[in-house]
């Protein structure tokens, strides 16, 4: 009987862990996936309105340029809904002043200008996005739009984000700005559940990994509640901040500890406001609103044949601030603002769902972790190299679409390839040091 419980342990059943396991199982390897929560999906999860219609309270939107997630939706026969976009897109400066998208286009030009800079150009070394923005000659309202975009998308204060990181991250997101193109009818969380179902008993929920012991040819894992498991290789498929909380014996190499410590979790709150009908369309509005008196607040129409609804995101410092004020405050603030922007019917909502991801117990936050150490250029490469037989993977580390569901699938597949290569060299090492190899 083998001394191993399995070939590979995967820690985390988000899209990264599920995709890694899927790829490994497809090659005939034995895999056990350990997930701390009582559900799969990680930062992809769902909840039901009172009439049973389910919505994605975490990751949701996908687009044609994301081949891996598009293939998964086809594999599991899921139906896509096109995100309604027709009509005017509002920029809401305050309760009196509204415009239809001009400063958004101008602010996007700042983003494009930044992305033309080589992330390794010494000219931007040590600069945060905020410090770089201060050197630009754009009008203050356009700069405010850029700040709102950065804080709304990366969900950290602009003064914390290294410009090189922002550029490098953005360059790997090759979707021409249409990331909101589709959402999955019946939720993208159901895609994660379908993928998990293919693993059968290889998946263990409610199992948090607290400690990993590694040797040259094996790893043992102490689970909080399921005893000790032994495998040849392990993938920690959790965001860097969460991965940094697992204890290692022996301790990880210092550069790897530093690399995992270079990140902070994003802060985001996601809400759905349900209506009888998409009343904003009567006035030629798309339902898409971006606020400018507060930065990081954004609403968009996600109505489908099944329900009329707006999704509202609060991201970055505003989410951190509002999270502390409680659900009642946030709900009344959102409804008040929707009434101002879209009209009095904004107050006639029929249901409201809120998911506060700030300091989430198992993902730390969202949309993703962000590097906040301006000197940590090598952090991603160091984490990706890992400390075999311990490997690390997360959406954040993907070669394409980092911080997106697509990136999680890419990262999972990349980690699976790395593990297969490591297993091959492990076999060679065992042969070399075995009875014949001396
Ligand atoms: C509100 C919100 C909206 C988003 N919107 C979109 C969107 O519209 N489109 C898009 O593409 N992306 C979106 N994202 C981002 C996307 O959801 C993530 O990039 C992606 O799901 C991350 O997957 P992952 O597997 O890398 O990490 P996670 O999903 O975080 O999975 C990691 C898993 O590891 C588990 N875990 C952590 N520590 C341990 C431990 N010690 N032991 C065992 N298990 C552990 C966690 O419970 C979790 O299940 C959104 C995210 C959020 C939060």
Look at residue 67 and tell me if it is in a domain: no
Closest ligand 1 atom number to CA of residue 243: 38
| Same domain, residue pair 285 and 165 | yes
| Same domain, residue pair 282 and 350 | yes
CB distance 143 to 158 below 8 Å: no
Look at residue 54 and tell me if it is in a domain: no
| Same domain, residue pair 162 and 285 | yes
Instruction: Give the pLDDT confidence score for residue 185 in this predicted structure.
Output: 94
Distance, CA 330 to ligand 1 centroid (Å)? Answer: 23
Instruction: Give the pLDDT confidence score for residue 438 in this predicted structure.
Output: 38
| Same domain, residue pair 396 and 342 | no
Closest ligand 1 atom number to CA of residue 12: 34
Closest ligand 1 atom number to CA of residue 209: 42
Residue 42: both structure tokens together: 């990680």
Distance, CA 287 to ligand 1 centroid (Å)? Answer: 27
Look at residue 55 and tell me if it is in a domain: no
393/11 Cα distance (integer angstroms): 10
| Same domain, residue pair 104 and 235 | no
| Same domain, residue pair 332 and 387 | no
Domain count, the chain: 2
Closest ligand 1 atom number to CA of residue 269: 1
The owner of tokens 């360059």 is 171
CB atoms within 10 A of CB 224: 13
What CATH code is carried by the domain that includes residue 97?
Answer: 3.90.660.10
| Same domain, residue pair 277 and 158 | yes
What CATH code is carried by the domain that includes residue 205?
Answer: 3.50.50.60
Domain residues for the domain of 116 are 86-170+268-356
**Which of the listed residues 42, 179, 316 should we mutate to test ligand 1's pocket, taking the one with most ligand atoms within 8 A of CB?**
42
432 phi and psi angles, rounded to 5 deg: -70, -35
What stretch of H or E contains 181? Answer: none
Look at residue 77 and tell me if it is in a domain: no
Look at residue 362 and tell me if it is in a domain: no
367/365 Cα distance (integer angstroms): 7
| Helix intervals (H) in 2-81 | 15-26, 67-75
- Among candidate residues 300, 323, 356, the one where a domain is terminated: 356
> Mind listing the pLDDT tens digit for each residue in 58-103?
999 999 999 999 999 999 999 999 999 999 999 988 777 777 767 7
Length of the chain: 438
- Among candidate residues 330, 356, 382, the one where a domain is terminated: 356
Spell out a b/e string for 97-124, using b for 16 or more CB atoms within 10 Å of the CB, else e: eeeeeebbebbbebbeebeeeebeeeeb
398/411 Cα distance (integer angstroms): 5
Look at residue 221 and tell me if it is in a domain: yes
Look at residue 66 and tell me if it is in a domain: no
**Which of the listed residues 192, 203, 361, 362 should we mutate to test ligand 1's pocket, taking the one with most ligand atoms within 8 A of CB?**
362
For the chain, list residues with pLDDT below 70.
Answer: 1, 101, 434-438
Distance, CA 79 to ligand 1 centroid (Å)? Answer: 22
17: Cβ–Cβ under 8 A, 6 or more apart, which residues? 10, 11, 33, 35, 42, 235, 237, 238, 393, 412
| Helix intervals (H) in 244-308 | 254-260
- Among candidate residues 356, 381, 415, the one where a domain is terminated: 356
Nearest alpha carbon, ligand 1 atom 27: 14
| Same domain, residue pair 340 and 384 | no
Distance, CA 133 to ligand 1 centroid (Å)? Answer: 30
58/270 Cα distance (integer angstroms): 7
List binding-site positions for substrate.
313
| Same domain, residue pair 348 and 280 | yes
Nearest alpha carbon, ligand 1 atom 47: 362
| Same domain, residue pair 145 and 191 | no
> Mind listing the pLDDT tens digit for each residue in 256-291?
999 999 999 999 999 999 999 999 999 999 999 999
Q: Which residues line ligand 1 (CB under 6 A)?
A: 11-17, 34-37, 42-44, 58-61, 208-209, 237-239, 242, 246, 268, 270, 357, 362-363, 366-368, 394-395, 403-408
Instruction: Give the pLDDT confidence score for residue 8 in this predicted structure.
Output: 98
Instruction: Give the pLDDT confidence score for residue 100 in this predicted structure.
Output: 75
Triad 292, 178, 72: Cα angle to 5° = 130
Look at residue 59 and tell me if it is in a domain: no
| Same domain, residue pair 249 and 129 | no
Instruction: Give the pLDDT confidence score for residue 222 in this predicted structure.
Output: 87
| Same domain, residue pair 285 and 394 | no
Distance, CA 195 to ligand 1 centroid (Å)? Answer: 15
Instruction: Give the pLDDT confidence score for residue 437 in this predicted structure.
Output: 43
């Amino acid at each position: 009987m083998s001394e191993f419980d399995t070939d590979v342990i995967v820690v985390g059943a988000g899209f990264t862990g599920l995709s890694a396991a899927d790829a490994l199982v497809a090659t005939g390897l034995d895999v056990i996936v350990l997930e701390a929560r009582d559900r799969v999906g990680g930062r992809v999860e769902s909840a039901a309105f009172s009439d049973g219609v389910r919505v994605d309270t975490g990751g949701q939107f996908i687009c044609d340029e994301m081949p891996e997630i598009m293939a998964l939706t086809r594999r599991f026969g899921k139906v896509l809904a096109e995100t309604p976009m027709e009509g005017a897109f509002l920029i809401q400066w305050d309760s009196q002043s509204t415009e239809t998208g001009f400063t958004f286009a101008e602010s996007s030009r700042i983003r494009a200008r930044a992305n033309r800079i080589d992330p390794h150009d010494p000219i931007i070394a040590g600069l945060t996005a905020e410090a770089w923005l201060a050197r630009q000659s754009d009008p203050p309202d356009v700069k405010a739009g850029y700040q709102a975009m950065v804080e709304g998308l990366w969900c950290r204060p602009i003064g914390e984000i290294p410009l090189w990181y922002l550029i490098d991250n953005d360059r790997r997101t090759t979707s021409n700005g249409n990331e909101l193109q589709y959402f999955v009818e019946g939720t993208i969380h159901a895609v994660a559940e379908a993928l998990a179902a293919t693993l059968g008993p290889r998946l263990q929920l409610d199992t948090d990994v607290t400690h990993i012991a590694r040797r040259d040819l094996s790893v043992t894992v102490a689970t909080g509640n399921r005893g000790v498991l032994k495998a040849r290789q392990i993938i920690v498929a959790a965001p860097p901040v969460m991965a940094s909380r697992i204890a290692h014996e022996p301790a990880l190499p210092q550069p790897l500890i530093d690399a995992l410590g270079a990140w902070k979790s994003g802060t985001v709150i996601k809400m759905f406001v349900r209506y009888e009908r998409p009343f904003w369309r009567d006035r030629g509005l798309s339902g898409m609103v971006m606020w400018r008196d507060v930065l990081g607040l954004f609403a968009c129409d996600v109505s489908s044949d099944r329900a009329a609804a707006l999704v509202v995101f609060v991201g970055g410092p505003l989410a951190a601030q509002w999270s502390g004020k409680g659900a009642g405050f946030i709900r009344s603030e959102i409804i008040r603002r929707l009434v101002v922007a879209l009209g009095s019917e904004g107050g006639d909502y029929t249901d409201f769902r809120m998911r506060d991801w700030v300091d989430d117990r198992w993902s730390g936050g969202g949309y993703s972790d962000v590097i906040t150490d301006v000197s940590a250029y090598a952090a991603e490469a160091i984490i990706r190299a890992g400390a075999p037989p311990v490997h690390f993977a997360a959406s954040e580390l993907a070669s394409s679409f980092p911080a997106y569901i697509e990136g999680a699938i890419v990262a999972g597949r990349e980690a699976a390839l790395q593990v297969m290569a490591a297993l091959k060299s492990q076999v060679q090492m065992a042969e070399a040091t075995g009875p014949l190899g001396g």
